[in-house]
Amino acid sequence: MTGKELREKYIRFFREHGHAEISGFSLIPENDPTVLFTTAGMHPLVPYILGAEHPAGKRLVDYQRCIRTGDIDAVGDASHLTFFEMLGNWSLGDYFKEEAIRMSYEFLTSPRWLGIDPGRLSVTVFAGDEMVPRDEESAEIWRSLGIPEERIHFMSREHNWWGPAGKTGPCGPDTEMFIDTGKPPCGPDCKPGCSCGKYFEIWNDVFMEYNKKADGTYEPLSRKCVDTGMGLERTTAILQGKQSVYDTEFFVPIIRAIEESTGAVYGRDPEKDVSIRIISDHIKAATFILGDERGVTPSNVGQGYVLRRLIRRAIRHARKLGVEGNFVHLPAQVVLDMYKEYYPLLAEKRDFVLEELRVEEDKFLKTLQKGEHEFEKMLPNLLKNPKKVIPGRIAFRLYDTYGFPIEVTEELAREHGLTVDRAGFDEEFERHRERSKQGADRVFKGGLADHTEETTKLHTATHLLHQALRIVLGPHVQQKGSNITPERLRFDFSHPDKLTPEQIRKVEEIVNQKIKEDLPVTMEVMTLEEAKEKGAIAFFTDRYDEKVKVYSVGDFSKEVCGGPHVERTGVLGRFKIVKEQSSSAGVRRIRAVLLPPDGSSEE
């Protein structure tokens, strides 16, 4: 089965079971300060899982592009990916365990759908602990479907529990489905979840049935939800009997382009294979980040830093394969062609994506020259060391400050009769990696799950700010990102120039005037086509029949948004811009706060 067939069968199956297909969301989360990228299909739907009404109803299905950055340094093996697509379906207070598990089993085993031999399926369910009882209900459903006792495994909270999104809130057990690959067990304790490769996780059904309270106890939820996820690339690989996702059509065309450009042949040299996998994964991820509706450009902060790191790591491995000049645009062109059917925006942004990659590659090649120059400056002192060893901290400084590959440092060292303390470098690198990982794929503490009074007010204020910027600067202004905490809002928007003090004052005046007018905030559910006709601001997709929420602030602002919002603007207080700066090329960033109406506050 091809990946295209899997994607289309999944959507068709759940549509036949009463689910509304919704568009996937941007890779750049909106109004979420806790994660850099959308990491799973459920991530953008957290507000609806927590109780908000979704305009498309209670049964949803989609495919979502995702980025996970915590394991960037592990990419290069046969399984890790930075960019992937997630197939998902949801029940928002509708069906629960019985129907969810039965649909999962039908889709996996029915000859009309995936046709997997039921004898290859094993499942895991929550074993229970001192806080929450064992999930016998899910286990009994699997038994009723014919899964024998020896293939139903009760696992700990670490393996079979999700949430809550913050310290409190909805959470619950999950049941995971595994395919036996046919490999021999690694030992007597080999079971699903083992890393030996015998069992391959294909699907996960999460059952949000508890509310975790502030005192750490759990109470049953009155509105129970189901969230499921299936990785498109990994599932395609197992259905095709492939050893790796890199052997599927999601990567083969990209690898072919790399082979043609480098002369390397995939599958002959394990070390070169690592480089080819890294290039193909990282360039795909970079292309999707640049081609996103809220696409960022390479920089030294946030999403832009991750993007820069991906591009530069791909370039370093291209150099290992013998590439000298510009290269990354070649595999990127293949990615753009491969995915334009499902993500038409990639075609629209093609020239932008390729130009940004070229600019970043030129910058990095110059950076490498600087690193070589820095090495030459250090060389006299390094040669004085009687041990003829370059300390690991110095090698890491070349890597961290100049992006200088450790392999290049070792090569230059050899040319001068030196070696590199690789263990010391690895130790420094590991410390750096742990710091990066802690700041990359953090769990959703606050952010989309945070609907406090403060964040709700600031969310509404972003609508006023957006419209005020369009009035003062022009209709070219479009939101490029939003990040809200209970203390402040951060709003990124398209504009080429620094705002003048007069423009900032004018924007503040307009927002505060609309707050003073105490305008009503209303919501209507309509199709995207209707929203467009009514002049609502939005990122429009190709599916204009999709239902969305449109929030209007009096007659001043009309915007497609998921909420939450206040009922009237008069409760917002006083709006104050505290900082305006560049975010990336052609994008400005405003930080603003809401103060008490009398203005009394420490600023």
Q: Is 301 a residue whose pLDDT tops 90?
A: no
At which residue do the structure tokens 């560049």 appear?
582
Report the CATH number that the domain containing residue 494 is assigned in CATH: 3.30.980.10
pLDDT above 90: percentage of residues in the chain: 61
Q: What is the pLDDT of residue 543?
A: 59
Q: What is the pLDDT of residue 368?
A: 81
Task: Report the C-alpha gap between 160 and 126 in whole angstroms.
Answer: 5
- Tally Cβ neighbours within 10 Å of residue 276: 26
Annotation: binding site for Zn(2+)? 459, 463, 561, 565
Indicate whether 92 belongs to any domain: yes
Indicate whether 150 belongs to any domain: yes
Q: What is the pLDDT of residue 74?
A: 83
Q: Among the listed ranges 97-101, 476-480, 481-485, which one has the minimum average pLDDT value?
A: 481-485
Q: What is the pLDDT of residue 538?
A: 76
Residue 481 region by backbone torsions, left for phi larger than 0, else alpha for psi between -120 and 50, else beta: left
Nearest to 544 by CA among 555, 558, 560, 557: 560
What's the mean pLDDT in 20-35? 82
Report the b/e string of 361-374 with b at 16+ CB within 10 A.
Answer: beebeebbeebeee
Phi and psi torsions of 161, nearest 5°: -150, 140
Domain boundaries, position 341: 251-364
Indicate whether 431 belongs to any domain: no
What's the mean pLDDT in 43-64? 89
- Size of the chain, expressed as the number of residues it contains: 603
**Sequence-ordered list of residues with C-beta below 8 angstroms from that of 377, at least 6 positions apart, any chain:** none
Q: Are 504 and 458 in contact (CB under 8 A)?
A: no
pLDDT bracket for residue 165 (50, 70, 90): low
Task: Report the C-alpha gap between 371 and 182 in whole angstroms.
Answer: 49
Q: Is 450 a residue whose pLDDT tops 70?
A: no
The total of structural domains in the chain comes to 3
Q: What is the pLDDT of residue 444?
A: 40
Indicate whether 428 belongs to any domain: no
Of the ranges 64-73, 278-287, 555-564, 590-599, which is most confident?
278-287
The reply to whether 277 and 238 lie within a common domain is no
The reply to whether 498 and 573 lie within a common domain is yes
**Sequence-ordered list of residues with C-beta below 8 angstroms from that of 489, at least 6 positions apart, any chain:** 458, 459, 461, 462, 465, 482, 483, 591, 592, 593
Report the CATH number that the domain containing residue 86 is assigned in CATH: 3.30.930.10
Task: Report the C-alpha gap between 179 and 119 in whole angstroms.
Answer: 9
What's the mean pLDDT in 443-456? 62
At which residue do the structure tokens 């568009």 appear?
23
Q: Among the listed ranges 251-260, 329-338, 370-379, 454-463, which one has the minimum average pLDDT value?
A: 370-379
The reply to whether 238 and 256 lie within a common domain is no
Nearest to 163 by CA among 155, 152, 154, 171: 171
The reply to whether 78 and 143 lie within a common domain is yes
Q: Among the listed ranges 201-215, 448-462, 540-554, which one has the minimum average pLDDT value?
A: 540-554
pLDDT bracket for residue 49 (50, 70, 90): confident
Which of 339, 364, 389 terminates a domain? The answer is 364
Indicate whether 397 belongs to any domain: no
Tens-digit pLDDT profile for residues 542-558: 555 678 889 999 999 99
3-state helix, strand, coil in the chain (%, to 5): 40, 20, 35
At which residue do the structure tokens 């706060």 appear?
593
Annotation: binding site? 459, 463, 561, 565
The reply to whether 235 and 278 lie within a common domain is no
Residue 259 region by backbone torsions, left for phi larger than 0, else alpha for psi between -120 and 50, else beta: alpha
The reply to whether 215 and 256 lie within a common domain is no
Top pLDDT among 464 and 544 is at 464
User: What is the dihedral angle through the alpha carbons of 213, 214, 217, 223, rounded to the nearest 10 degrees?
Assistant: 0
Q: What DSSP string runs through 5-35?
A: HHHHHHHHHHHHTTPEE-PPPPSS-SS-SS-
Q: Is 45 a residue whose pLDDT tops 60?
A: yes
pLDDT bracket for residue 91 (50, 70, 90): very high
Q: Are 246 and 265 in contact (CB under 8 A)?
A: no
- pLDDT averaged over the chain? 89
pLDDT bracket for residue 79 (50, 70, 90): confident
Indicate whether 308 belongs to any domain: yes
Strands 169-180 and 161-162: antiparallel
What's the mean pLDDT in 281-286? 97
Q: What is the pLDDT of residue 437?
A: 56
Nearest to 362 by CA among 309, 398, 312, 326: 326
The reply to whether 227 and 320 lie within a common domain is no
Q: Are 237 and 244 in contact (CB under 8 A)?
A: yes
Residue 497 has what DSSP assignment? S
Strands 389-390 and 419-420: parallel
From residue 394, how far is each of 22, 369, 378, 410 by CA, in Å? 51, 17, 9, 12
Indicate whether 324 belongs to any domain: yes
Q: What is the pLDDT of residue 300?
A: 74
Indicate whether 438 belongs to any domain: no
What's the mean pLDDT in 267-271? 93
Which of 307, 341, 364 terminates a domain? The answer is 364
SS3 state of residue 552? strand
Q: What is the pLDDT of residue 442?
A: 44
Instruction: Give Cα 315 distance to the centre of its chain.
Output: 22
The reply to whether 215 and 305 lie within a common domain is no
Query: Which two tokens mark 214?
Result: 């502030």
The reply to whether 212 and 300 lie within a common domain is no
The reply to whether 101 and 232 lie within a common domain is yes
Q: What is the pLDDT of residue 412?
A: 82
Q: What is the pLDDT of residue 601?
A: 45
The reply to whether 322 and 232 lie within a common domain is no
**Sequence-ordered list of residues with C-beta below 8 angstroms from that of 477, at least 6 positions apart, any chain:** 466, 469, 470, 493, 494, 495
434: part of which helix (H) or strand (E)?
helix 422-438
Top pLDDT among 127 and 312 is at 127
Q: Is 164 a residue whose pLDDT tops 60?
A: yes
Instruction: Count the alpha carbons within 13 Å of 559 in the hemisphere toward its beta carbon.
Output: 21
Which of 308, 330, 364 terminates a domain? The answer is 364
Q: Are 494 and 473 in contact (CB under 8 A)?
A: no
Q: What is the pLDDT of residue 441?
A: 45
The reply to whether 93 and 217 lie within a common domain is yes
